[in-house]
């Protein structure tokens, strides 16, 4: 196993995840199987209990793991399926060490950060790196380890120390370090001092950079790279400039042009790792596809405008996968994506009095968009605004896509304004409602919030006589589809008949037919809601069908795209079959139920 540690200096949020994923992608173009591990040095066990406005979107994995959004980058760039263990946190490591201590496994020793915590980290990395991440079922040859935060933080100290030891555990030829730093431009002058200081910190902790990737506003002149090379004690070829680019798809090519592949090949003696010719050919094909993708993305001119009505719009990272899904779909439709962000509460009546400017701007955005999207979310704030936006979309026949909360919102709106159930609401948002059309799911814990939702890959079964459904056709007319879920509430079965009679059809349901999972309005260009989060399984060259339909309808090309989808295959058609290897008891049940579904 070859390990590439990607660390960061100066400040966080400068694109370490993208550089790490791009490095993995380049190694995939050589034919290697690449996996990834993200280390988050916070105390939370996982990202599930964290606010999206604090840390960006919570990415959901097949096995129900609630992870950092970088795992999404890895899945999309490397076209792999990761599990919860691919995201290490301080909380997880300490929990493991403390559980071991309570069992008495340390045989009377004093349990300390070094060696017990640092050993636990290294064992974890070595174990998880071996886990197959695609349907080939083969163990990867390369593992990218991304260390979150910046080197020098108190939080990351045990991980930095673990990695210092790790380079000796696995041997020099099997471990390389790529450090991502910032070269800011101050009054037009590129400053290298922060990079120098950050490399000094790194070396002081016993880690030696093999490559320094400098994030910078524009390409670095030779004088600057030479300076970094001299002061940071590395050769010129070890300094890479990652300047701002028109799209992130350029980053792998930018790294490739600066010799990243050649360097790692030598440094890690990659040629000693034999891989089959067929895999090399697959790698070459991937590189060509990626180049084509980058070029065609730059050549998009016709626009499609989407209005995203959410409640975490203050941090766009809260919706990373949604944005990626829209982008991938727009690319397939040959359109340049234009997103307008609307803070849902700005659409509400109070806003008209309190913040008239925001109110009018928000409605202007909703009324002029080609499509309206209401993504996932929790809690009451902004939901009346979302309901108003869904009403506009339904009545004016503007394409609508509701994801999770957005699906529930569409149902509430329909019940209120079509069925005339005036006070229809979700029990999550107003417990005392006389018409709880969305209710708490019986199996969910009311006392514990961490990891207790209905999580991970679940089947949706299309109902009989739903061949007309655009969503179903976009999934190549499948009987069963698998998407990832993350919710506590569901559509109240007591209202289903009434809703369907009035035209909103629950075309997709769970394996027992009891839980409503996909709604679609007949006679509308595209009015679709999904209880699942299909955004977590999109790929640049294989967009999520539900998003594709939405963008295609917004761009007026739905019939063509439906035809094109006849050969659609999900990124990993058999991913759920591998999941019993992963430590998630509730998923086994799901697999059995699906076996039942298939037999039936
Ligand atoms: N709050 C809703 C629920 O728990 C929707 C969740 C979501 O959008 N992820 O069911």
Choice from 48, 309, 378 to test ligand 1 binding pocket (greatest atom count within 8 A of CB) = 378
Last residue of a domain, one of 291, 308, 340: 291
482: confidence class by pLDDT, cuts 50, 70, 90 = very high
Residue nearest to atom 7 of ligand 1 (CA): 376
Lowest mean pLDDT among 222-231, 436-445, 485-494, 524-533: 436-445
**pLDDT for 598:** 41
Question: Do 153 and 186 sit in the same domain of this protein?
Answer: yes
| pLDDT of 590 strictly over 60 | no
Question: Do 241 and 372 sit in the same domain of this protein?
Answer: no
Residue nearest to atom 1 of ligand 1 (CA): 378
307: annotated active-site residue: no
Question: Do 402 and 438 sit in the same domain of this protein?
Answer: yes
Question: Do 279 and 356 sit in the same domain of this protein?
Answer: no
232: annotated active-site residue: no
| pLDDT of 504 strictly over 60 | yes
Torsion of CA 572, 578, 583, 585, to 10 degrees: 100
Please tell me if the CB atom of residue 48 comes closer than 6 angstroms to any atom of ligand 1.
no
Q: Are 549 and 528 in contact (CB under 8 A)?
A: yes
Please tell me if the CB atom of residue 406 comes closer than 6 angstroms to any atom of ligand 1.
no
Return the ligand 1 atom nearest residue 403 CA.
8
pLDDT in tens, 175-205: 999 999 999 999 989 999 999 999 999 999 9
Choice from 408, 437, 441, 451 to test ligand 1 binding pocket (greatest atom count within 8 A of CB) = 408
Lowest mean pLDDT among 51-55, 86-90, 524-528, 545-549: 51-55
Question: Do 322 and 372 sit in the same domain of this protein?
Answer: yes
User: Which is the catalytic residue, given 55, 485, 533, 578?
Assistant: 533
- CATH number of the domain within which 474 lies: 3.40.50.880
Domain of residue 154 covers 2-258+265-291
CB atoms under 10 Å from CB of 12, counted, come to 12
Choice from 58, 312, 377, 446 to test ligand 1 binding pocket (greatest atom count within 8 A of CB) = 377
CA 216 vs CA 90, 183, 241, 254, 256: distances in Å: 31, 5, 7, 13, 17
| pLDDT of 262 strictly over 70 | yes
Q: Structurally, how many domains does the chain consist of?
A: 2
Look over the chain and give the mean of its residue pLDDT values, rounded to a whole number: 92
Question: Do 100 and 219 sit in the same domain of this protein?
Answer: yes
Name the DSSP letter for residue 581.
G
β pairing state of 175-182 and 489-491: unpaired
Expressed in angstroms and rounded, the spacing between residue 384 Cα and the centre of ligand 1 is 15
Please tell me if the CB atom of residue 487 comes closer than 6 angstroms to any atom of ligand 1.
yes
143: annotated active-site residue: no
What secondary structure does DSSP assign to 256-300, as a single string?
A: HHTTHHHHHHHHTTGGGS---HHHHHHHHHHHHHHHHHHHHHHT-
Question: Do 392 and 479 sit in the same domain of this protein?
Answer: yes
Question: Do 276 and 136 sit in the same domain of this protein?
Answer: yes
For the whole prediction, is pTM greater than 0.85? yes
**pLDDT for 595:** 37
CA 187 vs CA 184, 190, 191, 347: distances in Å: 10, 8, 10, 41
Question: Do 216 and 321 sit in the same domain of this protein?
Answer: no
Please tell me if the CB atom of residue 490 comes closer than 6 angstroms to any atom of ligand 1.
no
Instruction: Determine the average pLDDT of the residues in 281-294.
Output: 92
Please tell me if the CB atom of residue 376 comes closer than 6 angstroms to any atom of ligand 1.
yes
Instruction: List alpha helices for 369-435, DSSP H.
Output: 383-395, 405-417
- CATH number of the domain within which 149 lies: 3.40.50.300
Question: Do 204 and 240 sit in the same domain of this protein?
Answer: yes
Helix H, strand E, coil C: the string for 27-60 is HHCCCCCEEEEEEECCCCCCHHHCCHHHHCCCEE
Return the ligand 1 atom nearest residue 428 CA.
1
Question: Do 414 and 478 sit in the same domain of this protein?
Answer: yes
Please tell me if the CB atom of residue 405 comes closer than 6 angstroms to any atom of ligand 1.
yes
Instruction: Determine the average pLDDT of the residues in 281-298.
Output: 92
Question: Do 313 and 177 sit in the same domain of this protein?
Answer: no
Residue nearest to atom 9 of ligand 1 (CA): 376
Expressed in angstroms and rounded, the spacing between residue 51 Cα and the centre of ligand 1 is 13
């Amino acid at each position: 196993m070859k390990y590439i540690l990607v660390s960061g200096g100066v400040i966080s949020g400068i694109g370490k995840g993208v550089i790490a994923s791009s490095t993995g992608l380049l190694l995939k173009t050589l034919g290697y199987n690449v996996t990834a591990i993200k280390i988050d040095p916070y105390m939370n066990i996982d990202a599930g209990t964290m606010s999206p406005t604090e840390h960006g979107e919570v990415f959901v994995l097949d096995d129900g793991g609630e992870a950092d959004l970088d795992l999404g980058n890895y899945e999309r760039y490397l076209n792999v399926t990761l599990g919860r263990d691919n995201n290490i946190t301080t909380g997880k490591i300490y929990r493991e060490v403390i559980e071991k201590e309570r069992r008495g496994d340390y045989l009377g020793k004093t349990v300390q950060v070094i060696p017990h915590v640092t050993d636990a980290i290294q064992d974890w990395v070595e174990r998880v790196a071996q886990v197959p991440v695609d349907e080939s079922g083969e163990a990867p040859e390369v593992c990218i380890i991304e260390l979150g935060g910046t080197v020098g933080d108190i939080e990351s100290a045990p991980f930095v120390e673990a990695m210092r030891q790790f380079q000796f555990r696995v041997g020099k030829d099997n471990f390389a370090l790529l450090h991502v730093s910032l070269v800011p431009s101050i009054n037009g002058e590129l400053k290298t001092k922060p990079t120098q200081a950050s490399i000094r910190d790194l070396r002081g902790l016993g880690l030696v950079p093999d490559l320094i990737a400098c994030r910078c506003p524009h390409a670095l002149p030779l004088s600057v790279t030479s300076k970094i090379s001299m002061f940071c004690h590395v050769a010129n070829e070890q300094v890479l400039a990652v300047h701002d680019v028109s799209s992130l798809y350029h980053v792998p090519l930018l790294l490739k042009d600066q010799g990243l592949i050649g360097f790692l090949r030598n440094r890690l003696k990659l040629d000693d790792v034999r891989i089959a010719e067929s895999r090399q050919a697959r790698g070459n094909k991937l590189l060509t596809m990626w180049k084509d993708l980058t070029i065609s993305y730059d050549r998009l001119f016709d626009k499609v405008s989407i209005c995203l009505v959410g409640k975490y719009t203050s941090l766009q990272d809260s919706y990373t996968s949604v944005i990626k899904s829209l982008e991938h779909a727009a690319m397939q439709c040959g359109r340049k994506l234009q997103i307008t962000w609307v803070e849902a509460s700005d659409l509400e009546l109070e806003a008209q009095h309190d913040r008239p400017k925001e109110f009018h701007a928000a409605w202007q955005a909703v009324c002029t968009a080609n499509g309206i999207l209401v993504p996932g979310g929790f809690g009451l704030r902004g939901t009346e605004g979302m309901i108003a936006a869904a009403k506009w979309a339904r009545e004016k026949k503007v394409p609508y896509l509701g994801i999770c909360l957005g699906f529930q919102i569409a149902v509430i709106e329909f019940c209120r304004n079509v069925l005339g159930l005036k006070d229809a609401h979700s029990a999550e948002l107003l417990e005392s409602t006389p018409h709880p059309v969305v209710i708490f799911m019986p199996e969910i814990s009311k006392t514990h919030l961490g990891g207790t939702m209905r999580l991970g890959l679940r089947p949706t079964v299309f109902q009989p006589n739903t061949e007309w459904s655009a969503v179903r056709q976009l999934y190549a007319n499948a009987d069963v589809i698998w998407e990832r879920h993350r919710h506590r509430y569901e559509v109240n079965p007591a209202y289903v008949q009434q809703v369907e009679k009035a035209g909103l059809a629950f075309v997709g349901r769970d394996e027992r037919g009891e839980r409503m999972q996909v709604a679609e309005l007949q006679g509308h260009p595209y009015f679709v809601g999904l209880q699942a989060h299909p955004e977590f399984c999109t790929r640049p060259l294989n967009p999520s069908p539900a998003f594709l339909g939405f963008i295609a309808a917004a761009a007026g090309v739905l019939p063509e795209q439906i035809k094109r989808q006849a050969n659609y295959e999900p990124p990993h058609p058999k991913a759920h079959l591998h999941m019993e290897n992963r430590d998630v008891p509730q998923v086994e049940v799901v697999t059995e139920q699906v076996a039942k579904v298939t037999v039936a």
